[in-house]
Amino acid sequence: MTPETVSKAIGAPVRGLTRLQGGDLSEVFRVDMADGRRMALKHGAHVATEARMLNAMTLAGAPVPEVLHQTGRMLFLEWLDEAPASDAGWRALGEGLRLLHDTTGPDYGWPEAHAFGPLPLRNDPADRWPEFWAGARLRPFVPLLSGALPSRIEALAAALPERLPTHPAPALLHGDLWSGNALFGALRTWMIDPACYHGDAEVDLAMLELFTAPPAAFRQGYGATAPDRISRRAIYQLFPALVHLHLFGGGYAGLVDRLLTETGH
């Protein structure tokens, strides 16, 4: 990737291009334009899908970076200036996530497949939520695992019709909402790097709680949740834990084991 390549893609002169950290699915750059503007650039195979996801989230009223331009393997986004997280920022995140979840779809899943790094992510639509969670989020890991884990996951997947609601509202989900994908600014908060699909809103909440404890301000912004939500949390947290185990290795085996034990399997 060169400034000349970027300049040709956007039809304007580029003064500088800086590679940034992060980006398991795409390379990420800061683009400094000759006219003083600054943009974020993501380069990868899935950027067109991400642009469509961000546009869907924008239509829902959720706070996401503006899509400025997308062509080929390049996605140009509004540049976001970060600031320390605050109660006001966490409250805004809760409010924005509620707007996202209040937007619903016709079924569970998403029209396109996606990925977490080299791991394919199936989104085949389903009419019943337990069927989607078992088939698209748990069973794909069975052939990738060894020892007792495959049979434990199969046992949980078979029990999901009794453990998960059959037809929860098919909320528009961020799909990968850990704290690193919530970006706090001085006056705004954004959700970045989506992996959208429609499903139980509790999925995003469980993911956010897997590696952090959102403060009370977030809960105030988001509003009420089901009184028995915690009884399903480990089932939903198991999916990102399995993703981490597959991508980053055995250091996450204990987390997967603990979550399966919490589910009774």
Q: Tell me: the pLDDT tens digits for 49-84?
A: 999 999 999 999 999 999 999 999 999 999 999 999
Q: What is the pLDDT of residue 68?
A: 97
Residue 22: what pLDDT?
67
Instruction: Indicate if 176 belongs to the active site.
Output: yes
Residues 123-181 have pLDDT tens digits of 999 999 999 999 999 999 999 999 999 999 999 999 999 999 999 999 999 999 999 99
The model carries a pTM of: 0.95
**Predicted pLDDT at 116:** 87
Contacts of 35 (CB under 8 A, 6+ apart): 12, 13
177 Cβ neighbours under 8 A, 6+ residues apart: 97, 191, 204, 207, 208
Q: What's the pLDDT tens digit per position in 25-34?
A: 789 999 999 9
Residues of the chain with pLDDT > 90: what percent? 94
Distance CA 196, CA 248 (A): 22
Q: Are 109 and 126 in contact (CB under 8 A)?
A: yes
- Residue 64: what pLDDT? 98
State residue 228's pLDDT score.
97
pLDDT at 24: 66
pLDDT (average), residues 242-249: 95
> Which of 88, 53, 31 has the alpha carbon at shortest distance from 197?
53
Q: What is the mean pLDDT of the chain?
A: 95
Q: 204 exposed, middle or buried (CB, 10 Å; 0-12, 13-18, 19+)?
A: buried
Could you give the dihedral angle defined by the CA atoms of residues 77, 21, 198 and 66, in that order, rounded to the nearest 10 degrees?
-10
Nearest to 234 by CA among 196, 192, 203: 203
Residue 3: predicted pLDDT? 87
Residue 120 or 173, more confident: 173
Mean pLDDT of 213-220: 97
Quick one: pLDDT at residue 196?
98
Q: What is the mean pLDDT of residues 195-202?
A: 98
pLDDT for residue 86 is more than 80: yes
- Provide the 3-class DSSP secondary structure of residue 119: strand
Active-site pick, 124, 176, 204, 228: 176
Query: Both tokens of residue 58?
Result: 């924008």
Give how far the C-alpha of residue 241 lies from the chain's centroid of Cα atoms, to the nearest Å. 13
Give all domains of the chain, ordered by start, each with its CATH number.
3-78 (3.30.200.20), 87-262 (3.90.1200.10)
Name the pairing type of β-strands 114-116 and 119-121. Answer: antiparallel
Query: Hey, what are 31's tokens?
Result: 């683009």
The CA distance from 31 to 248, in Å, is 30
pLDDT category, 23, cuts 50, 70, 90?
Answer: low
